Amino acid sequence: MDVLITIQHPAHVHFFKHAIEELEELGHEVYVRALDKDVALSLLNGYDIDYEVVGSRGGSLAGTAVSTLAIEYRLYRDARAIGPDVMTAIGGIEAAHVAKLIDADSVIFTDTEHATLSNRLTFPFADEIATPDCYLDDAGPNQYRYPSYHELAYLHPDRFDPDPSVLDELPVDADDTYAVLRLVSWGAAHDVGDEGLADLTELVDRLEETGADILVSAEDDALPPGLDGYGIDIDPNLIHHVLAYADLFVGESGTMASESAVLGTPSVYVHSANPGLMRDLSAHDLLFGYHGERRNERAASRAVDILESPEIDWEQRRRDLLDQKTDATDVVVDRVLSAAK
């Protein structure tokens, strides 16, 4: 069969990469259409995945609305030419709409309850909405729940083995104590009105006082004042190796916070939203979320406590989590194949 996948975000490349390979090995044709978003195209190139670009999102709500229409038109044009049996995506406004227009089946994956506008525009048109079982909302009669996370499509131990040589170009070794600080650009539609970390130089100072090295990763590559010299320059497809050997993650990125947690790296997450994924990881004591008033003070204190508590067995907590979860790539392949029957 023919499968058309749309990529809206760098994390979607990771999510689908193994499924693309497995579907092709089974003899199916897979077509990828991508948005030019952050490092998404670099990741596709790095994994040698063939794709075509169908646009990019605007930077404001009005710009997002206009660009979405343009993206949907280009995707419709390509989908008519391809004639896919199944269209799939994460979020997937355009994929769900276009699939209806061309009479293809659609499987939409999501784990983001607070993407309320895009969910309202997507769910009524999707043939199936696949969500982790920790997803808090009822996505309607076509919802399929499964015991995993998006991150376990590419970071499950059957899919990922960290390589310490990746750190050779960084000022740390695998045996060093170091923390990764991640800052986002707040450009996504579901980020409007949200807020994360503040007092960054003070936070870095407090973390350094524990003896840890600090590596800062910024989504737009522009470091805030006072953090010059802390930034890391690494191929985006290698960042998970850096997270795997880290002793701590602190950041505003929900994706990278959950990636760190499933790798067994304790994660301090500072953001307005508190979706089911974060609550589930918190229940396994691998992620610590801070929201609302005094979030920065409380997050900094927790981060320092983690760095000063080497006796905690984070790997055992990870093993306990994995005992309850499945490889999400298996879910992706199963749902796509099931949709075409």
For the stretch 128-169, pLDDT in tens is 999 999 999 999 999 999 999 999 999 999 999 999 999 999
Decide if 2-156+326-339 and 164-322 have a common fold: yes
Q: Which of 50-54, 131-135, 157-161, 189-193 shows the lowest mean pLDDT across its residues?
A: 189-193
- Domain borders along the chain are 2-156+326-339, 164-322
Task: Specify the residue for token string 């990763």.
Answer: 217
Tokens 């749902």 correspond to what residue? 335
CB atoms within 10 A of CB 97: 20
Confidence of residue 189 (pLDDT cuts 50, 70, 90): very low
- Residue 304 pLDDT exceeds 90: yes
According to DSSP, the residues that pair with 249 across neighbouring strands are 180, 267
- Asked if residue 100 lies in contact with residue 25, where contact means CB atoms within 8 angstroms, the answer is no
Tokens of 259: 């990636």
Would you state the pLDDT for residue 161?
97
CA atoms within 13 A on the CB side of 334: 11
Mean pLDDT, the chain, rounded, equals 92
Domain 2-156+326-339: CATH class, spelled out: alpha beta
pLDDT in tens, 166-178: 999 999 999 999 9
Cα(75)–Cα(82) distance, rounded to whole angstroms? 10
Q: Which residue reads 């063939």 in tokens?
A: 50
Pick among 3.30.70.330, 3.40.50.2000, 3.10.105.10, 1.10.3720.10: CATH of 164-322: 3.40.50.2000
Could you tell me which residues come within 8 angstroms of residue 179 by beta carbon, excluding any fewer than 6 positions away?
Answer: 207, 212, 213, 214, 215, 246, 247, 248, 249, 250, 303, 307
How many whole angstroms separate alpha carbon 214 and alpha carbon 232? 10
Which tops the pLDDT comparison, 246 or 60? 246
Nearest to 130 by CA among 81, 96, 171: 96
What pTM, to 2 d.p., does this model score? 0.91
Contact predicate 91/108, CB 8 Å: yes
The pLDDT tens digits for 99-125 are 999 999 999 999 999 899 899 999 999
* DSSP secondary structure letter of residue 224: P
Instruction: Please name the residue ranges forming H helices in the chain.
Output: 10-25, 40-46, 61-82, 93-102, 116-122, 200-208, 239-245, 254-262, 276-283, 295-307, 314-322, 328-339
Centroid of chain to Cα 103: 29
Q: Which of 116, 117, 79 is nearest to 97 (CA)?
A: 79
